[in-house]
Structure 1
Amino acid sequence: MKRVSAPSPFYEEFYARHVRPAAAGAALAGFSVLAIDQLLPALYFSARLRAEYPGMKTCLGGPWVSASWDALPSWPELFDHADYLIGFAGEIPLEQLLRHMKGELPLAAVSALARRRGGKVLRSAVKPGPPLEELPAPVLDGFDLDAYRVRCLPYQTTRGCEWGRCVFCYHVFPGNAPASKSPAKILRELKDLSRRHKVKDFYFADLATPVELLEALAAGLGRLKVSWSALARANPKFTPALAGKLRRAGCDWLFFGLETADAKSLRALKKGISLETLDANIRACGAAGVNVGLFILNYPGQPAGEFKDTLLYGLKRADHLAELAVARFEMGRWMKGRPGLGGRLAAGADKDLNSFSLPYLGAGVTSGKFRELAGPALEAFNRIVRSQKRGFGSVHK
């Protein structure tokens, strides 16, 4: 919090160029905090606006607020810099907050809202968000895509995860039931985004896009003549025939999560897939010309031998893969007490603002051993794919 109050020439320049012109004259200024790296600047800009415009209220929302929801009562100092925080699905709470500011609704009636009163942080009840089918299409007017090296837009087709049971996953919040837009709505919105913003490349920003939805979209995506990428779960329905159909429909990349190549550990992690199915999916999609990415996870308690065998699994399939991504387990604050996780939170974790990756102590592969094993494996993978002028391997942590 001390860093928020410290002057920053970089933040000041950004504030003068972008934040002040956008917010000047508004009754409410909002900041969406997707990652921990955005928290400090969001609080800084929020505090600057409150100082410069005393009548203005500020609000933070986004995934970080949702991830930190249970810890907010312990962090009253956040409200030295922002008036309100909105968690989870924010469409209805934000509308309610605006109605409150117009005098149409009491503040206590705003759902999923955190605020400070008398030194104590109050949180209102979290309620389900509106159906995805009822939400308007994304509006990106004024967003300068020419500033990016690649003209690609993220687009969300689903909410939550169709599986949602993996022990290690920090992407699924409790009570976040899966939902999907209809194929007709998706195709209609993609067509409009492509036309309005001259974009021919989309990334489906879902936790995992269901194979049934991809199949239902294939014909329409083909007519749009766009390329697209998605995350997906291994599924027997990814047959060679469907893989070919998706490729002809513009599928550029599909990313599958393996996590571990040990069948017993997959069951313990409640992954819900089989190695045989994943292997068939990789080969079918690769043969169809789809770039296939594979995620590997080093989880708490995993033996070094199992992690090494999993790296070898990916390396042996380099001819069919375009990317191999290896990550260390990260402990989300809301995962505390989840059964099946081996390990414990380190001392002081309750004060750590990085609610996506709390300090966590667990047996198994150390961070040094992780780098020792993953580095050479990925170098070997990269040599293979580069020789074929394809993708890459990467260590995420």
Structure 2
Amino acid sequence: MIVLFNPRATKPRNRRLPLAVLAIAAVLEDREDYEIVDGNVDDNPVASISRLIEQYDVELLGVSVMPGPQMVAAMDASREIRRAYPHVKIVWGGYFPSVYPDAALNAKYVDYIVRGQGEDTLLELLDAMRGKRAFDSILGLSYKDIFGLPRNNAERPMKGPDEFPWSPFHRLPVEKYLRPSFFGKRTAVHHASIGCPFNCSFCGVHAAYGNKERMESPERTAAILSHLVTEYGADSVQFYDMNFFLREDHALELAKRIEHLNLRWWCEARVDVMSRYSDETFAALKRAGCTMIFFGAESGSDWALKEMKKGISTEQTVTIAERTKQFGIIPEFSFVIGNPGDPERDTRETLAFIRKLKKINPDSEIIIYHYTPVPQPGDMYGNVDGQIAWPSTPAEWASKRWMDFTLRIDTQAPWLQRKTKDLIDNFEIVIGSRWPTVQDIRAPKWSRILLKTLSAWRYALGVYRFPVELQWANEFISLRKPKRESL
């Protein structure tokens, strides 16, 4: 038997379908005995895994691992299983081991790493474990040889979603995952593509999946969403694609195919791509239920965008702010502030640019991060000239310093002066209080009025220093922050 484990990554109210393990389960369905254990639902996943090992002949524990809280949960559970059941092989897959394979493989309790897209790699790994093929022939696999030395095989070419079967939703209590959100009472999630064709210097997606994007056909996407609606009562969906709108013809066809489902939905897109869409396409997306779109605006400085290799301009971001307002779609703009090239200038120009966007479209949601690099292919330091020495084990990544770095709470970036960091953090508090996110469905009306009132004078006058009253108010109200929802 194979056990697929999704370690806890979020609070119960934020849990969503574990798409990563469902994708792996899809290729195991009808060919291997397997069970899914989800730490976001199971209060004691280690006990559940242990019962399966004691009841069945479990030969492999597959663990899906994202950086942050899930990595810590994966580390703790893997260590306990290895100690109690040393004969069970453990394989890690997902974003964390794909971007940091050497660190993950340095853990004594990890036997194999599946990098990037894992469906075919896992099937071939099972064949190798059963003596049917050589480990060194498996693309996308990292492992320890007979001498305990790490081996990293060549990368595996990516396949499109249509080349794999549907997720076996029946294997999970789907009703536990359709949680209320701003978009609906029963919000599902879906991944309609994999990869990203762009090369932003601070992003780890192409480090994990290369610089290609494979799209699911609109017909299949519509069929899966229809299944979630008719079988489980989904009324809304969040698309987890890095670029949901890569091509206008694809977006328009999909909008027409799902309009009848009456879903409200959220997705991610690029400002350069969508700024060129026709009014017809924007109107079709709105009719199809598009409610909010996340855009990586990243900076208010064109020179910083060039250094990031982002491939967009501030003018295109302004265009998106105008057009989303025209069609009644909420834009969610994300910024990574403090570019290592000139963090003070980038901060100054980006804060002014954010104010410009809010004036153009007050409904714009603003998400602010400190510039946080990840290792890049051919540039292992994310465009920061070797100023960061990356941890070499999961245990180091689990330390407070690196957890804060991973979650962008406090990166301790050597190029970011304390006064600049404080300015970014204080501005975030002021603008987040002046325009509390619409996505917090739990916050009472009075709390929003209080925050807006307290912050109005600061925002109007551009006074961001020492916002103590706003810090106290935010702690008292505990308003949801979109970038902190997994904590």
- Going from structure 1 to structure 2, the CA distance change for 1:280 and 1:107 (only over 3 Å counts) comes to closer
- The reply to whether residue 282 of structure 1 matches residue 321 of structure 2 is yes
Normalising by the residue count of structure 2, what TM-score does the alignment of the two structures yield?
A: 0.68
Q: Secondary structure at the match of 1:85?
A: strand
For 1:85, the equivalent position in structure 2 comes to 113
- The reply to whether residue 69 of structure 1 matches residue 101 of structure 2 is yes
Distance 1:361 1:280 in 2: 32
- Going from structure 1 to structure 2, the CA distance change for 1:69 and 1:56 (only over 3 Å counts) comes to closer
For 1:376, the equivalent position in structure 2 comes to 427
For 2:73, the equivalent position in structure 1 comes to 41
Q: Secondary structure at the match of 1:172?
A: helix
Q: CA deviation at 1:340?
A: 8.6
Which of residues 202, 207, 210 in structure 1 aligns to 2:242?
207
Distance 2:152 2:259 in 1: 46
Normalising by the residue count of structure 1, what TM-score does the alignment of the two structures yield?
A: 0.82
Q: CA deviation at 1:265?
A: 2.8
For 2:473, the equivalent position in structure 1 comes to none
For 2:15, the equivalent position in structure 1 comes to none
Q: CA deviation at 1:146?
A: 2.8
- Going from structure 1 to structure 2, the CA distance change for 1:84 and 1:242 (only over 3 Å counts) comes to same
- The reply to whether residue 292 of structure 1 matches residue 331 of structure 2 is yes
Q: CA deviation at 1:91?
A: 0.6
For 2:26, the equivalent position in structure 1 comes to none
Asked if the contact 2:336–2:372 (Cα under 8 Å) also holds between the matched residues in 1, the reply is: no
Distance 2:61 2:424 in 1: 47
Select between 194-203 and 335-344 the one with higher mean Cα deviation. Answer: 335-344
CA deviation map 1:142-161 (0-9, x unaligned): 24543644432321122222
CA deviation map 1:144-184 (0-9, x unaligned): 5436444323211222223x132332322273422211111
Q: Secondary structure at the match of 1:257?
A: strand
Q: CA deviation at 1:56?
A: 2.7
For 2:18, the equivalent position in structure 1 comes to none
Asked if the contact 2:180–2:187 (Cα under 8 Å) also holds between the matched residues in 1, the reply is: no
Which AA in structure 1 matches 2:286? R
Asked if the contact 2:297–2:333 (Cα under 8 Å) also holds between the matched residues in 1, the reply is: yes
Which of residues 151, 161, 166 in structure 2 aligns to 1:137?
166
Distance 2:329 2:431 in 1: 22
Distance 1:326 1:109 in 2: 43
Distance 1:392 1:310 in 2: 24
- The reply to whether residue 27 of structure 1 matches residue 66 of structure 2 is no
For 1:248, the equivalent position in structure 2 comes to 287
Distance 1:321 1:374 in 2: 21
- Going from structure 1 to structure 2, the CA distance change for 1:322 and 1:139 (only over 3 Å counts) comes to farther
- The reply to whether residue 175 of structure 1 matches residue 210 of structure 2 is yes
Aligned length: 380
- The reply to whether residue 344 of structure 1 matches residue 389 of structure 2 is no
Q: CA deviation at 1:317?
A: 2.8
Distance 2:96 2:253 in 1: 33
For 1:331, the equivalent position in structure 2 comes to 373
For 1:301, the equivalent position in structure 2 comes to 341
Distance 1:392 1:27 in 2: 41
For 1:6, the equivalent position in structure 2 comes to none
Q: Secondary structure at the match of 1:293?
A: strand
What is the identity percentage for the equivalent residue pairs of Structure 1 and Structure 2? 21
- Going from structure 1 to structure 2, the CA distance change for 1:280 and 1:348 (only over 3 Å counts) comes to closer
Map 1:253-272 to 2 at 5 A. 253-272=292-311
Q: Which runs of 5+ in 1 are unaligned?
A: 1-9
